[in-house]
Chains A and B, each alone.
Chain A
Amino acid sequence: MAPYDTPVASRRAFLAGAGGLVIAVTLPFKTRAQSGAAAVLGGEATAATYAPNAFVRIGADNLVTVLIKHIEFGQGPFTGLATLVAEELDADWSQIRAEHSPSDASIYGNAAFGGMQGTGGSTAMAASYMVMRQAGAAARAMLVSAAATAWGVPASEVTVSKGVISHAASGRSGKFGEFAEAAAGLTPPAEPKLKTPDKFVYIGKTVPKLDTVAKSTGEAVFTLDVYREGMLTAVVAHPRKFGASIASFDDAAARAVPGVVDVKKISDGVAVYGRNSYAALKGRKALKVTWSDSAAETRSSDAIAQERIDKAKQRGALAGESGAIDDALASAATTLEAEYVFPYLAHAPMEPLDAVIERSADGGVEVWMGSQIQSGDHPTIAGVCGIEPAKVKLNTMLAGGSFGRRAQPTSQFAKEAAEVFMAAGGQTSVKLMWTREDDIQGGFYRPLTVHRLRGGVNEAGEIVAWEQVIAGQSFLAGSPFEGMVQNGVDATMVEGAAAIPYHVPNFHCSAHIINNPVTTLWWRSVGHTHTGYAVETFIDELLEKAGKDPVEGRLALMTDPKHARLAGALRKAAAMAGGMNAPQARARGVAAVESFGSFVAQVAEVSMENGLPRVHKVWCAIDCGVAVNPEVIKAQMEGGIGYGLGAILFNELTLDDGGSVTQSNFHDYRSLRIGEMPEVEVEIIVSNEAPTGVGEPGVPPIGPAVANAVRRLTGKTPQRLPMIKELQA
């Protein structure tokens, strides 16, 4: 984790903001150069409205604004990270506000991303827990010091509670705003003292989420809601086949549409610019593009799957091995084989991708977008615009979901937005808007992945052999995350399979990377979306073959102490459900998956209706260390279950015989709807371990938990997903 996990407070700055003087507590990382506060602010107080290098801003109006370095698109970092500051600052929750931090990795880098600024891998809380608490504690110490000086009393006698600074002996008290100016002149403590957990008043309790009200009134501003003076709206005609390019285009009819002002070729398509959204959309419809398929993927997804099925029959690059797998398989009393095919999946966030770019007065550009990896998007935009990164002001916006879609290692969307802006002359403000069709057909899918498993049980009923071969594609090659591919193994393809929580003495896991022009990406919980399903359905079947109970059988195999927390979650979920017995015509299935440092177990109660599973109830237990915001954690488990369930039941992205994407919108890429959402009960295991993520870990167990129940009802584990494909075939 070093060097980013050991911040020290070492800077302060004066800022004349709208609310008066503010304290800008900054916590630059030890190994970095001094923060740029002085340079940014210059010698004179500017009318800056935010502190570019700060985590906390306290105004004369008593408002505490917490700058959030992780994008808020539903997983709760605004509330979660602000809770940490409020806790150590002893602020009143009602005075807390949150906003996205600027794009500046030197201050806002993510330790889990090697210091790049970005959000993903459910790292926001884990990577911020100490930083944000220290920021709050430093600000508190400075306020206390300022108050003590003003009152002529020892700082040790000054207390803070719910936004009020007090000195009991003299009966004096005041609010933060009164001391903001004086505090801003002090040197922050090098090592601010943090609370012990028994003193927590917000961490572990429920506070109202900071963004709920704005999201219930229509006031929350997303990128699509940004309108600038004279702004054009652009939509891009993209190829229907991956790897296709433009042969020629005829824009006469498009230009004839009232409101269309321009049509330009960019590297991956043809952009149509309108005075408003509808003109641009109509113009694109009238555009005639001839594509060249010479470099395109023209095979069907069935053919791509078959290639991977064939490949998975041979072992690949080694990801994990112990014992003597060949001997164990050969000598097993009972063997089991399974072959799983996981389809391409689109993320389909509610807000399709979008960005607004505008020329700034200083010759730079200002950008508004739901950037998930600022450290990639920011320089990419600068490069396309031909300017220094320092001339780009990237405003991270609230985004309508992502589930991985906005985290593009290659910054492909940022590049397209900048190209669209520059192709129109680079002076007029442009909003690039993708439609749902662009989103569903635009690639960057969860990779189509095949798993082939063989397992063996001996005469004593012990699972003695486990062989797993995975064939898929890698989206990390050529990206800043390339280091995650080692010796032919992409860590994001084998996570959850290279090592399993069950002790099997003879073990083998290997993988094949077979790339093709279909663009792929991490999809909420990444490799665990398929490894969790394959491992947890296969162990369930092996345990059945061995005559073991699905819960006790799993627990008996979690012999390594490092799986104790997963075992704890499994015990808890089983206890919540009251065991695995279901009412008549229903069955229960269980699954337990560790992902992103969190441990989640789920029991699903299922019946079959019209050939499809109907999930009535899910019991979910999670161990994510210290539960900073219990309701946010529960909401993420509920949402993760719904997101995973919809995909496992209904979703696949297919390519037809010529390589064109078959699906186009929500009518044929079905989303889970409210009537299909099970009742969900969540319990959080009490823990003093450091907090870990919750955005993704709720997803992996639901598919296999449902599949294991389906097997009890139908006799067969669905192995070709989505379930609707196999069960209603």
Chain B
Amino acid sequence: MAITFEVNGEQRTADVPEDTPLLWVLRDELRLTGTKFGCGIAQCGACTVHLNGQPRRSCITPVGSIEGQQVTTIEGLKGPEADAVRAAWAQFDAPQCGYCQSGQIMTATALLERTPNPTDEDINQALAGNICRCATYVRIRKAVKAAGETLGG
């Protein structure tokens, strides 16, 4: 069936079964491939997008449940927090293989949007659901703190 929702500020329609996870609609139908498949059971965070501004695991979100709602993917992520995060990611060269990084950045940006000056504990809690098998956590933590400082938090 046709399901319409907003992706990165544009109305998009997907003609798919409504139980199709948002992840596969973004990737297979809309070709927004920055959102990654890592586990399929909301354990790794590689598929994190923002749904109405909040981080959401797209791999367990049936597309039928988000009719008319607003989705932001890594491709459409904008704003001062996103800019600060990306600048800090570059400053610390946070990615290694890079596969989890879209999810890390989506989660980190959402954290800074509500907590501009996060403590280590805030960072650990917010990013606990984002696995990085390369374990770039030292740099991710530094980058999120640096981004917070840039934002004047």
Contacts and interface: CB of A to CB of B under 8 A. Distances in A.
Interface of A: 73-76, 208-209, 211-222, 224-225, 227, 233, 258, 276-278, 348-352, 398-403, 435-436, 631-632, 635, 638-643, 645-646, 665-667, 671-675, 677, 679-680
Given A209-B93, A276-B24, A638-B137, 18 more contacts: A74-B96, A74-B97, A217-B86, A218-B33, A218-B73, A218-B102, A222-B36, A224-B27, A227-B28, A350-B46, A351-B38, A436-B44, A635-B93, A642-B136, A642-B137, A667-B43, A671-B44, A674-B141
Given A635-B93, A674-B141, A400 B135 contact: no
Contacts of B34: 217-219
B134 to A, nearest CB: 5
Nearest to B138: A638
Most central of A213, A216, A631, A645 by chain B CB within 10 Å:
A216
Contacts of B125: 675
Given A209-B93, A227-B31, A674-B124, A348 B101 contact: no
Contacts of B40: 435-436, 665
A349 B133 contact: yes
Contact of A258 (B17, B32, B38, B123): B17
A428 to B, nearest CB: 16
B97 A666 contact: no
Contact of B96 (A75, A348, A351, A641): A75
Chain A's interface: helix, strand, loop or mixed, by majority? Answer: loop
A674 B105 contact: no
B44 to A, nearest CB: 5
Given A218-B34, A278-B24, A349-B97, A671 B131 contact: yes
Interface string B88-100: 0110011111111
13 contacts: A225-B33, A277-B27, A277-B37, A278-B21, A350-B100, A400-B36, A435-B40, A635-B139, A638-B138, A642-B132, A665-B40, A674-B141, A677-B137
Given A215-B101, A222-B99, A666-B43, A639 B93 contact: no
B41 interface: yes
Contacts of B133: 348-350, 401, 403, 643, 671
Shortest 8 CB-CB contacts between residues of A and residues of B: A218-B34, A642-B135, A400-B99, A215-B98, A74-B96, A74-B97, A675-B124, A218-B74
Contacts of B139: 635, 638
B95 A212 contact: yes
Nearest to A211: B98
Nearest to B93: A209
Contacts of A402: 97
Nearest to A347: B133
Contact of B44 (A642, A645, A666): A666
A674 B132 CA distance: 8
Interface in B79-127: 86, 89-90, 93-102, 105, 123-125, 127
Contacts of B124: 674-675
Contact of A224 (B21, B29, B37): B37
Interface of B: 16-17, 20-21, 24, 27-29, 31-41, 43-44, 46, 73-75, 86, 89-90, 93-102, 105, 123-125, 127-128, 130-141
A209 B100 CA distance: 17
Given A227-B31, A351-B36, A639 B135 contact: yes
A273 B144 CA distance: 41
A350 B136 contact: no
A435 B128 CA distance: 22
A221 B33 contact: yes
A646 B136 CA distance: 13
Nearest to B124: A675
Contacts of A436: 38-41, 44
Nearest to A72: B97
Contacts of A674: 123-124, 127-128, 130, 132, 137, 140-141
Which of B31, B34, B86 lies at the interface centre, i.e. has the most chain A CB atoms within 10 A of its CB? B34
Nearest to B106: A218
- Most central of A402, A435, A641 by chain B CB within 10 Å: A435
A642 B28 CA distance: 33
Contacts of A398: 97-98
Nearest to A629: B93
Contacts of A220: 98
Given A208-B90, A672-B135, A677-B138, A665 B39 contact: yes
Given A212-B90, A216-B101, A639-B134, A350 B28 contact: no
Contacts of B97: 73-74, 349-351, 398-402
B77 to A, nearest CB: 8
Contacts of B89: 212, 216
A208 B27 CA distance: 29
Contacts of B90: 208, 212-213, 216
A107 B37 CA distance: 35
A278 B123 CA distance: 33
A227 B31 CA distance: 8
A114 to B, nearest CB: 27
Contact of B134 (A74, A219, A222): A74
B143 to A, nearest CB: 10
A212 B28 contact: no
A243 B38 CA distance: 27
Contacts of A75: 96
B122 to A, nearest CB: 11
Contacts of B140: 674
B78 to A, nearest CB: 11
A60 to B, nearest CB: 28
Contacts of B137: 638, 642, 672-674, 677
B43 A665 contact: yes
Contacts of A215: 95, 98, 101
A121 B54 CA distance: 42
Contacts of B43: 665-667
